[in-house]
């Protein structure tokens, strides 16, 4: 594996970004680039709940609440700044998980709000409703493309510092020169929620998991299935009670 191969793969949309990251990890390990390796590992393994995700992993969508009669409808906060904040969530899933998600051809996905944030939002509407953030497919694609471009930019910087394209084992001089190639990734600032929701007016924008979007119809369908099962079991139990207890 060499730098030229990394560049060729970066320009090939048929090469998965997760595979590209593993190739870059080999080069970065040989060049002892600890910071870049740390970033690669987070992209490969996913960000923990305690990590502040990079700004390119913060996606924007439409907050929605589940109306029992009308289905999913937009959740609109009266304060524009607060509405902007609840419309953004960090994505902590690994690149491989995001690639797997995109195999589903649907045009949008959803992110569930953490329970504490959901409770704050419910207090704002004074209703116990399900809440979610619906994001466009392009938001997920954008994360993958940013990582692909970051690896390409990194390989170009290595070339500019005189790192060879040909060798697979780098010299001590090349390792030293590679130290000049710094990677900088802006971390998303944590903001406070400010709105007319009583005393519970602060939360942090952590990272969540993107999931296939659940429709109101599908949710209603499963509610119907559960109700049918309960009805059938109830009839069976009633029949057994009448037969074996009351001898009817």
Dump pLDDT digits (tens) for 9-54. Answer: 999 999 999 999 999 999 999 999 999 999 999 999 999 888 889 9
The pLDDT assigned to 197 comes to 27
Q: Distance between CA atoms of 138 and 141, rounded to whole angstroms?
A: 5
The pLDDT assigned to 186 comes to 35
Higher pLDDT, 169 or 188: 169
Residue 96 contacts residue 86 (beta carbons within 8 Å): no
Higher pLDDT, 35 or 248: 35
Higher pLDDT, 137 or 125: 137
Average pLDDT over the chain reads 77
The stretch 220-227 carries a mean pLDDT of 55
Dump pLDDT digits (tens) for 165-181. Answer: 554 555 554 445 445 55
| 3-state SS class at 107 | coil
Residue 34 contacts residue 106 (beta carbons within 8 Å): no
The pLDDT assigned to 61 comes to 94
Q: Where are the domains of the chain?
A: 1-214, 215-248
Higher pLDDT, 72 or 228: 72
Higher pLDDT, 10 or 70: 10
The pLDDT assigned to 184 comes to 44
Higher pLDDT, 211 or 84: 84
The pLDDT assigned to 187 comes to 29
pTM of the complete model: 0.70
Q: Say yes or no to pLDDT of 97 above 80.
A: yes
134, β-bridge pairs: 62, 110
- CA distances (Å), origin 147, targets 39, 117, 140: 10, 29, 11
Dump pLDDT digits (tens) for 205-215. Answer: 455 666 666 65
């Amino acid at each position: 594996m060499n730098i030229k191969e990394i560049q060729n793969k970066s320009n090939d949309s048929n090469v998965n970004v997760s595979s590209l990251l593993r190739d870059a990890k080999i080069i970065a390990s040989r060049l002892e680039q600890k910071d870049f390796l740390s970033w690669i590992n987070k992209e490969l393994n996913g960000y923990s709940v305690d990590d502040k995700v990079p700004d390119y992993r913060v996606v924007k969508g439409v907050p929605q609440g589940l109306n029992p009669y009308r289905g999913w409808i937009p959740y609109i906060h009266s304060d524009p700044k607060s509405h902007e904040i609840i419309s953004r969530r960090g994505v902590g899933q690994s690149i491989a998980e995001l690639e797997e998600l995109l195999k589903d051809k649907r045009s949008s996905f959803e992110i569930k709000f953490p329970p504490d944030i959901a409770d704050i939002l419910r207090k704002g509407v004074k209703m116990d409703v399900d809440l979610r953030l619906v994001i466009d497919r392009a938001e997920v694609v954008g994360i993958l493309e940013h990582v692909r471009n970051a690896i390409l930019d990194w390989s170009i910087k290595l070339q500019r510092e005189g790192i060879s394209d040909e060798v697979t084992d780098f010299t001590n001089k090349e390792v030293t020169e590679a130290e000049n190639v710094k990677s900088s990734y802006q971390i998303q600032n944590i903001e406070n929620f400010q709105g007319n929701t009583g005393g519970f007016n602060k939360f942090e924008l952590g990272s969540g998991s993107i999931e296939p979007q659940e429709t109101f119809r599908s949710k209603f369908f499963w509610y119907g299935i559960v109700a049918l099962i309960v009805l059938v079991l109830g009839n069976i139990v009633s029949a057994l009670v009448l037969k074996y207890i009351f001898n009817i």
